[in-house]
């Protein structure tokens, strides 16, 4: 029997869900509720790895993406300073100097991230696109909608059917898809309260969010739904 299981979107619950979905007997749908925050609709994160080399690669990706973002204009001087700090970090030869260099680099990256967070706060509808244009991750979503929308596997392999509650006139439905629950891609908005995602890979995890848009703008992103593709 298929069950719908509601969980808070914490790291521990994410790990539990991923282990559970790997089970061949699992036929459940998991809904991960985003933890609310007081200020930000969408929160940017550096998502830095733990390895030294991987940190360098991640920092370079953020710097390069931020330099060419079409949403946020970053002063060339800031990019120059960041690249210089990255060189110092990559060229550090001792654990002590590398630790010090990383502390400075991390501080500069956080300042850069703030340049993307501010316009994201001012434009909730485009907040995810703004943050992702700088290659930043998304930590969480606030002001979740009270309604719960549904996700189920469609008749065709690799297809997920999505359905939300109906809304009044002059509104549309906004949908988001992610492979990892961090980086979301906007799907085609719909007037109808349902849509589908096709071309997915069997046994992969699929994450979805939904919001209603009316004449005042987006009404807030829903909880995150996680489902395994059949």
Q: Choose between 7 and 210: higher pLDDT.
A: 210
The pLDDT value recorded for residue 122 is: 80
Q: Residue 32: pLDDT above 90?
A: no
Give alpha helix (H) positions in the chain. Answer: 11-21, 52-67, 76-90, 95-122, 127-132
Question: For the ranges 35-39, 131-135, 203-207, which has the lowest average pLDDT?
Answer: 35-39
Question: For the ranges 93-102, 185-194, 208-217, which has the lowest average pLDDT?
Answer: 208-217
Query: pLDDT digit string (tens) for 140-190?
Result: 554 545 556 888 999 999 999 999 887 778 889 999 998 887 788 899 999
Angle between helices 52-67 and 95-122 (to 10 degrees): 40
- Contacting residues for 193 by C-beta, under 8 A, at least 6 apart: 163, 164, 165, 166, 167, 173
Query: pLDDT digit string (tens) for 36-78?
Result: 333 335 788 998 999 999 999 999 999 999 999 999 999 999 9
Instruction: Give the Cα separation of 225 and 34 in Å (integer).
Output: 10
**Largest Cα span, the chain:** 63
The pLDDT value recorded for residue 222 is: 79
* Residue ranges of the chain assigned to CATH 2.60.40.10: 4-36+143-228
CB 104 within 8 A of CB 31: no
Q: What is the mean pLDDT of residues 86-107?
A: 96
| The CATH number fitting domain 4-36+143-228, selected from 3.30.470.20, 1.20.1440.230, 3.30.300.30, 2.60.40.10 | 2.60.40.10
The pLDDT value recorded for residue 8 is: 47
CB 226 within 8 A of CB 34: no
Instruction: Give the Cα separation of 221 and 209 in Å (integer).
Output: 7
Q: What is the mean pLDDT of residues 1-15?
A: 53
The pLDDT value recorded for residue 37 is: 34
The pLDDT value recorded for residue 200 is: 94
């Amino acid at each position: 029997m298929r069950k719908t299981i509601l969980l808070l979107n914490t790291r521990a619950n994410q790990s539990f869900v991923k282990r559970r979905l790997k089970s061949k007997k699992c036929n459940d749908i998991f809904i991960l509720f985003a933890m609310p925050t007081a200020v930000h609709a969408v929160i940017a994160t550096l998502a830095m790895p733990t390895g030294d080399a991987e940190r360098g690669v991640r920092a370079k990706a953020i710097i390069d993406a931020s330099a060419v973002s079409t949403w946020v204009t970053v002063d060339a001087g800031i990019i120059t300073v960041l690249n210089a700090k990255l060189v110092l970090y990559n060229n550090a030869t001792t654990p002590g100097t590398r630790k010090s260099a990383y502390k400075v680099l991390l501080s500069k990256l956080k300042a850069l991230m703030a340049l993307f967070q501010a316009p994201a706060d001012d434009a909730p509808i485009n907040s995810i696109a703004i943050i992702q244009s700088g290659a930043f991750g998304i930590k969480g979503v606030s002001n979740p909608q009270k309604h719960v929308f549904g996700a189920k596997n469609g008749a065709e392999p690799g297809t997920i059917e999505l359905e939300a509650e109906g809304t009044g006139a002059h509104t549309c439905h906004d949908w988001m898809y992610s492979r990892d629950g961090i980086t979301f891609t906007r799907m085609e908005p719909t007037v109808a309260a349902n849509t589908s995602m096709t071309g997915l890979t069997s046994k992969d995890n699929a994450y979805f969010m939904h919001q209603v848009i009316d004449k005042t703008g987006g009404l807030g992103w829903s909880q995150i739904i996680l489902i395994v593709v059949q």
